[in-house]
Amino acid sequence: IARDLSPKGFLSYYKNFGFSIPEGAIDALINLRLKDEFLNADLEAQIRELTLTKDEIIAKLNSSVKANFKYSLSDKQLNGSLDIIDAKLKLEKIEPIFENINGKLEFSPSQLMWSGLSFKYLNTEYKTSGALTDFKAPAVTAELSSKDLQLESAFAVNGKFIKFSKFKGQYINSEF
DSSP string, 141-172: EEEEE-SSEEEEEEEEEETTEEEEEEEEEEET
pLDDT for 147 equals: 97
Rounded to whole angstroms, the Cα distance separating 134 from 107 reads 12
Q: Does the pLDDT of residue 143 top 90, yes or no?
A: yes
- Of the candidate ranges 5-9, 133-137, 169-173, the one whose mean pLDDT is the lowest: 5-9
Among the ranges 2-6, 59-63, 105-109, which has the highest mean pLDDT value?
105-109
Mean pLDDT of 123-139: 95
| Cα–Cα distance list, 22 to 30, 67, 71, 142 (Å) | 23, 22, 25, 29
Does residue 146 or residue 12 have the better pLDDT?
146
- Of the candidate ranges 44-58, 130-144, 162-176, the one whose mean pLDDT is the lowest: 44-58
Q: Does the pLDDT of residue 164 top 80, yes or no?
A: yes
Helix (H) or strand (E) holding 134: none
Residue 162 and residue 142 in contact, taking contact as beta carbons nearer than 8 Å? no
Residues 4-61 pLDDT 10s: 666 666 655 566 666 778 888 888 898 999 999 999 999 999 999 888 887 777 888 8
Rounded to whole angstroms, the Cα distance separating 106 from 154 reads 19
Q: Does the pLDDT of residue 66 top 70, yes or no?
A: yes
pTM: 0.80
Q: For the chain, what percent of residues have pLDDT higher than 90? A: 66
Rounded to whole angstroms, the Cα distance separating 89 from 41 reads 25
Does residue 95 or residue 134 have the better pLDDT?
134
pLDDT for 70 equals: 95
pLDDT for 7 equals: 65
